[in-house]
Amino acid sequence: GSVDGDAPAAMRYTEIRLDRIAHELLNDLDRETVDFVPNYDET
């Protein structure tokens, strides 16, 4: 879904594959390496 209430996209539109470098960049997100702050609508 979205903040506008739209239905989620079908799986055929959401399939992706990350490069190795993307895995390295995203690998430590669960270790609180970045200070996250709420966005404009606090989601």
Count of structural domains, the chain = 1
14 is in which domain, residue-wise?
6-30
Q: CA nearest 24: which of 35, 14, 16, 33?
A: 33
Residue 16 lies in a domain: yes
DSSP for 1-43? --TT-PPPPPHHHH-----HHHHHHHTTGGGT-S-----TT--
Respond yes or no: is residue 13 known to be catalytic: yes
Residue 26 lies in a domain: yes
Looking at residue 3, its pLDDT comes to 75
Q: Which is more confidently placed, 4 or 20?
A: 20
Residue 38 lies in a domain: no
| Alpha carbon distance 30, 20 (integer Å) | 18
pLDDT band at 28 (very low <50, low <70, confident <90, very high): confident
| Alpha carbon distance 13, 8 (integer Å) | 10
* Whole-structure pTM value: 0.34
Catalytic residue, chosen from 6, 13, 23, 31, is 13
Looking at residue 18, its pLDDT comes to 82
φ, ψ of residue 23 to 5 degrees: the values are: -60, -40
